[in-house]
Amino acid sequence: MKKFVEKDDVVVLIDLNFRKYIVYTNGKTDKIKGVGVLNPSTLIGNEYGKKLEIGNKQFWILSPSLQDKLQSLHRRAQIILPRDAAHILMYCSVEPGQHVLEAGIGSGSLTIALASAVAPNGKIISYDIREDFIEHALKNIRKAGLDRYVSIKTKDVTESIGEKELDAVILDIPNPWEAIENVWDALKVGGYFCAYSPLTSQVEKTVKELWKHRFIEIKTFENIQREMIVSTHGTRPSFDMLGHTGYLTFARKILQP
Amino acid sequence: MKKFVEKDDVVVLIDLNFRKYIVYTNGKTDKIKGVGVLNPSTLIGNEYGKKLEIGNKQFWILSPSLQDKLQSLHRRAQIILPRDAAHILMYCSVEPGQHVLEAGIGSGSLTIALASAVAPNGKIISYDIREDFIEHALKNIRKAGLDRYVSIKTKDVTESIGEKELDAVILDIPNPWEAIENVWDALKVGGYFCAYSPLTSQVEKTVKELWKHRFIEIKTFENIQREMIVSTHGTRPSFDMLGHTGYLTFARKILQP
Amino acid sequence: MKKFVEKDDVVVLIDLNFRKYIVYTNGKTDKIKGVGVLNPSTLIGNEYGKKLEIGNKQFWILSPSLQDKLQSLHRRAQIILPRDAAHILMYCSVEPGQHVLEAGIGSGSLTIALASAVAPNGKIISYDIREDFIEHALKNIRKAGLDRYVSIKTKDVTESIGEKELDAVILDIPNPWEAIENVWDALKVGGYFCAYSPLTSQVEKTVKELWKHRFIEIKTFENIQREMIVSTHGTRPSFDMLGHTGYLTFARKILQP
Amino acid sequence: MKKFVEKDDVVVLIDLNFRKYIVYTNGKTDKIKGVGVLNPSTLIGNEYGKKLEIGNKQFWILSPSLQDKLQSLHRRAQIILPRDAAHILMYCSVEPGQHVLEAGIGSGSLTIALASAVAPNGKIISYDIREDFIEHALKNIRKAGLDRYVSIKTKDVTESIGEKELDAVILDIPNPWEAIENVWDALKVGGYFCAYSPLTSQVEKTVKELWKHRFIEIKTFENIQREMIVSTHGTRPSFDMLGHTGYLTFARKILQP
């Protein structure tokens, strides 16, 4: 483990409000919103874990974690939050070496979480029908240093899937039920299906379509996360809370119903 | 990927109510609660994904996922549920190759999740003060095929930690605040602290102790999961719900406050 | 306020586990499940708030509150819980003197809450199509001493409503959307509509039908209640929790959209 | 029931976003934030339930419900929300004719809910130690037309309670545990105690103090309310959600432990 920032390092700057900024030390001088104009090479030589001053603000400098990468994403569409991504990784048992398909790519948030999980010898195949989303997501994936594990296709998952023997397929599209036949064909036996949908009618249509195919353990979950605020006054749940992200529907391919 | 069950395979049998039974095909004939008397070698040659009959019950046969392993654990103490384990793995950015310490070992549930995440080149160090818990957990870890990634010590984490430069330390003990000084010393810069505690007073004491040391991003969360039931009648949240598991308190080591 | 139990009193017996039994002191000797054989007249003369022994069990004796009445109901169908009933009373602004229609009657739980709220000079009109439910509910309502405020009709609310200028109409039927036209006609201007439905599809159909009529403030809520357990060990949310009761959809009649 | 607005009426104006403004038709011309300059007498003669134009905005005109009154309060301190007020009214079985003490008065929100429940022949006694809160709350209570049911005292409930034989005592103060001995003395047998507290440590201290006195059914609840959003796209829980209001601790006075 490095004690000091070196050339070629990717670092995270964390301000006093715990906002995070990912910086590549070999990058060009640039204006970063929330940091100011920064020549990344000036970070080289600082000791990890120390506080440094840029402009008139203070930042801790650390190696970026997966959580840091997800929290500092440039968002375009609504993203799948780390807590839902964590649930997907665990439930679908995503591991190094696996081949996982996702559609659509959104801002690349889930892509990054999946790519981290299958690295160094697995692959994420990501379908999306919108070129602008793909470009935006790709920037985020590159910044996270994970583009070598991701293969992106401008393709509609409800029309066809070229891949076979996939370990899992994760759908974040408005009409997941229309892709289920293709997904069954593309999955290996025992492989996982997951659809992320904000609406109850999407859940209903997806589950009812899954019933018609050879899937077991068809289950839908909703994750609610509450922060607890500890202060010198005492402890209580946070008043701020996100009321809903999306429903996660899971299933597993079998050969015989 | 294998199409048929072979000698030396570990398989999962899933019954029609989706209860899961992990079986090692080289094991001895044994009576398994929920399955009956089974000679594991009779499973060899079956096609993965097919349904087979044992006694008068039907089972699907598949390769076990991490989720399967966690759901089929022999529980002794209350376990850290997969959803909380998933949150810990994501938040602490646990990855292959890392060295992570946990205390105590409980039934080995979190140990298995952590070991899966750091394999094939990382290591989980697990402290517990009770020999009976260690023995019980070790059986579960062995059944999950992960014991080579786990090193267990009969040791009290609040007294001392021998390891240094750890990527993360996860505490599931009644008094996590008493270990915080040791944890800071044992963590690498940027390393993660996590404590799992069911009681609000434990959260309070832990957070207040963290304030006194060089940690940032001190945050406490509670995860609530709700299942949605889809039937031919319609869709609704499940009436059954676990109201509480535990609070997760996270923090990250820095050098300078 | 009476200090001692007198003839003609209705009392509640509360056992050491806080289970509640409503007893009418003028009633006949009877076997009460959880209490044993009891001659109610033997309760007369006891001091309210004291503990007494019946058989080999101990009970506190008190005057019954509305909460006691609801908690000691004989249940046949699933009941609207006190917390949802409380929300309905508040949101629909149910007050003494009002005329409120409910359909169906269920076990009479909501009827009792509504009757308590409109007494002493209001009236609850309760429709149900099943005679057996009506009979069962009526027994509960009589035991709660509220039958004089309730007028029950064997009638289908989706076919017609005879009443006019109602202050509120509360529907606990499988198809509330089919009654909405009748409800609009029966409500006074500014009057409240409420439907209690466990399924999301029921909510959808109800709201979409409300859109077609002159209603404003169309809103749907779900109430989740969590108990906190305080013990000598510390404080935490209860592990036991009811995950779902039903969705409450409210609206208010206006003349002009 | 009146069809048209008359002299002396109190009305509620509801705008197209369902914001509510309570207006007394005999009041003076005034500038109302959200409505503009309004001479209340110009509202007389309008038909209830119709939409009218004031300035360049449209409003429905209706008789105000309790919910309307609570939602249009001028807030100074954080208020007890209608859903928690509803829970208190139900759980403490507050009814016409009762005498209920509350401390402190806050913005008068709970006072208004309690006064509505005990009217026309009951009484709310409200203690607060801050004159400025009392004055502010009194304005809200008067606007709701309920001041005749409320008697306010500048008094600290932890020091003494002058009243006896109260049906219920509701505490919204930072240190409810310090008032419990006084509350026991002031309650009638079977009377209800309720404390509303945002912090877990307040709950703990309150419950532990209740244990020392003759109270039964000591229980703490938290109410979580989630709105469901129905649109032409589909149905989902609202993204906006209030994560926490306060914990409600209830107990009931008995004579013998």
pLDDT digits (tens, 9 = 90+) for D17-47: 989 999 999 989 999 989 999 999 999 999 9
CB proximity list for C218: less than 8 A, separation 6 or greater: C207, C210, C211, C249, C250, C251
CB pairs below 8 Å between C and D: how many? 177
Q: Do the chains contact at B49 and A256, CB–CB below 8 Å? A: yes
Inter-chain contacts counted by CB atoms under 8 A, chains B and D: 7
SS3 B56: coil
The stretch C51-57 carries a mean pLDDT of: 92
| pLDDT of B146 over the 80 cut | yes
Taking only Cα atoms into account, the Rg of chain D, rounded to an integer number of angstroms, comes to 20
In this prediction, residues B26-38 reach a mean pLDDT of: 91
Residue C71, pLDDT score = 85
Cross-chain residue pair C256–D219, CB shorter than 8 Å: no
d(CA C65, CA C12): 9
| Structure confidence at residue A79 (pLDDT) | 83
Contacts by C51-56 with C-beta closer than 8 Å and gap 24+?
C51/D254, C51/D256, C54/C13
Q: How far is the C-alpha of A40 from the C-alpha of A9, rounded, in Å?
A: 10
Q: Name the fold adopted by C69-253.
A: Rossmann fold (3.40.50)
Tokens of D171: 């505490």
If you average pLDDT over residues B55-82, what whole number do you get? 87
The DSSP call for residue D152 is: E
Is residue B92 within 8 Å of B120, Cβ to Cβ? no
Per-residue pLDDT at D1: 67
pLDDT digits (tens, 9 = 90+) for A208-257: 999 999 999 999 999 999 999 999 999 999 999 998 999 999 999 999 88
Mean of pLDDT values over C170-191: 97
Rounded CA gap, B221 and B223, in Å?
7
**C-alpha separations of D8 from D29, D112, D250 in Å:** 15, 20, 40
Could you say which of D201, D222, D239 has the minimum Cβ distance to residue A234?
D201
> Does residue A235 belong to the interface with chain B, where contact is any CB pair within 8 Å?
yes
Q: Rounded to 5 degrees, what angle do the CA atoms B83, B84, B88 make?
A: 120
- Give contacts of C227 with chain B, Cβ < 8 Å: 243
Tokens of B215: 């940690």
User: Which chains are adjacent to chain C, needing at least 3 Cβ pairs under 8 Å?
Assistant: A, B, D
In this predicted structure, the answer to whether residue B101 has a pLDDT above a threshold of 90 is: yes
Q: Chain A within 8 Å of D241 (Cβ-Cβ)?
A: yes
- Give residue B72's pLDDT: 82
The predicted pLDDT at position A154 comes to 97
ipTM: 0.93
Q: What is the DSSP letter of A43?
A: G
The whole-angstrom separation of Cα D106 and Cα D139 is 12
Query: Alpha-carbon distance B94 to B88, whole Å?
Result: 8
Q: How far apart are the C-alpha atoms of B112 and B70, rounded to whole Å?
A: 8
Residue pair B168/B214 in contact by the 8 Å Cβ criterion: no
CA distances (Å), A193 to each of A169, A248, B17, B71, D196, in order? 5, 10, 19, 19, 45
- Rounded to whole angstroms, the Cα distance separating A38 from A28 reads 8
Q: What is the mean pLDDT of residues C182-200?
A: 97
Q: What is the pTM of this model?
A: 0.93
The answer to whether the beta carbons of residues D184 and D215 sit under 8 Å apart is yes
Q: What is the H or E stretch that residue A59 is in? A: strand A57-62
- In this structure, chain C runs to a length of 257
Which residues on D lie below 8 Å from A222 (Cβ)? 237
Partner-chain contact A243 D235, CB within 8 Å? no
pLDDT at D79: 83
pLDDT tens for C101-138 read 999 999 999 999 999 999 999 999 999 999 999 999 99
For residue B71, what pLDDT is reported? 85
Q: Cα-Cα-Cα-Cα dihedral of A54, A60, A63, A69, to 10°? A: -80
Structure tokens at C232: 């000598």
Is residue D13 predicted with pLDDT exceeding 80? yes
| Separation of alpha carbons C231 and D203, rounded Å | 11
pLDDT at C1 over 70: no
Contact D204 B204 (CB under 8 A): no
Tokens of C151: 């007028």
Kind of pairing, strands C57-62 and C51-54? antiparallel
Cα D150 to chain centroid distance, Å, stands at 12
Task: Pick the closest to residue D248 from D212, D221, D217 (CA basis).
Answer: D221
- Neighboring chain A residues of D233 at a CB cutoff of 8 Å: 199
* Predicted local distance difference test score (pLDDT) of residue D157: 98
Find the residue in C nearest to A200 (Cα).
C200
Name the nearest CA neighbour of D102 among D85, D130, D125: D125
- Structure confidence at residue A74 (pLDDT): 80
Rounded Cα distance, B6 and B26, in Å = 10
Q: Would you state the structure tokens that stand for residue D106, as one six-digit string?
A: 């806050």
Chain B positions touching D204 (Cβ under 8 A) are: 200-201
Rg (CA), chain A: 20
Close Cβ partners of B142 (under 8 Å, ≥ 6 residues apart): none
C152 Rama class: left (phi>0) / alpha (psi -120 to 50) / beta: beta
Say if CB C252 and CB C222 are below 8 A apart: no
Phi, psi torsion values for A186, nearest 5 degrees: -85, -20
Is C200–B235 a contact, with Cβ atoms under 8 angstroms apart? yes
Q: What pLDDT score was predicted for residue B128? A: 97
Instruction: pLDDT tens for chain A, 257 residues: list them.
Output: 689 999 999 999 999 998 999 999 998 999 998 999 999 999 999 999 999 999 889 999 999 988 888 888 887 767 899 999 999 999 999 999 999 999 999 999 999 999 999 999 999 999 999 999 999 999 999 988 899 999 999 999 999 999 999 999 999 999 999 999 999 999 999 999 999 999 999 999 999 999 999 999 999 999 999 999 999 999 999 999 998 999 999 999 999 88
Q: Is A212 on the interface with B (CB under 8 A)?
A: no
pLDDT at C247 over 70: yes
Spell out which residues of chain B touch residue A192, defining contact as CB-CB under 8 Å.
Answer: 65
Tokens of residue B71, six digits: 């759901």
Nearest-CA neighbor of A194 among A214, A223, A176, A171? A171
B120 has pLDDT over 80: yes
What class, spelled out in words, does domain D10-64 have in CATH? alpha beta
- Which sequence spans correspond to the domains of chain C? 10-64, 69-253
Residues B157-178: tens digit of each pLDDT:
999 999 999 999 999 999 999 9
Confidence band, pLDDT 50/70/90 cuts, at residue B1? low
